[in-house]
Chain A
């Protein structure tokens, strides 16, 4: 379930047009990241969840 949600999000990010801002929510701080960094973060999260 979590894995398919993560895959869905990766696909969503990949479809996003260039120039859209993406943020990681780290506690109460939001950090701007690139699309690749966000996808990497999701993939890493997916692996940790396995």
Chain B
């Protein structure tokens, strides 16, 4: 009876451990996606600044699909159309557009920090559970030896 109870306890602990590890993995994926997003936002700011510096009249290539590009003439880069979410884009003056993207970066960084904190907490839980599993394993091994001794 006690053996069954021990086994159940061990199964519960391992199940909890697996679930936490899965949560950590999910957080890791989300953080990686945020990193890509933040890097894209930063790249966008750099590209917009470079285009503005190049000024009107420069020839640029516009991508059409994956493999084709057509030439176009750059106009003054003083207005940018920014996607603000929910299927809506808005034309903003250059500086306002940059500020808007920077705001998105700040929000993404804050979310990233929160996810990292959650991950640290989960790692602590993993440590705690591993310790419990080890202790449980030792206790079981001790019981086993005791039983063997009694049989002899």
Which B-chain residue is minimally distant from A27 (CB atoms)? B87
Instruction: Name the interface size band of chain B.
Output: 10 to 19
Question: With A12-B84, A21-B81 known to touch, is A30 a contact of B89 (CB < 8 Å)?
Answer: yes
Question: With A21-B81, A23-B81 known to touch, is A16 a contact of B90 (CB < 8 Å)?
Answer: yes
Contact assessment for B88 and A22 in the assembled complex, using a CB-CB cutoff below 8 Å: yes
- Chain A proximity mask over B52-89: 1 for CB below 8 Å, otherwise 0: 00000000000000000000000000000101111111
Contact assessment for A25 and B91 in the assembled complex, using a CB-CB cutoff below 8 Å: no
- Cβ distance B100 to chain A, nearest Cβ, rounded Å: 9
Contact assessment for A41 and B88 in the assembled complex, using a CB-CB cutoff below 8 Å: yes
Which A-chain residue is minimally distant from B93 (CB atoms)? A20
19 new A-B contacts, CB < 8 A, other than A12-B84, A16-B90, are A5-B85, A9-B86, A9-B88, A13-B90, A20-B90, A21-B91, A23-B81, A23-B90, A23-B91, A24-B87, A24-B89, A25-B83, A25-B89, A30-B89, A41-B87, A41-B88, A42-B86, A42-B88, A45-B86
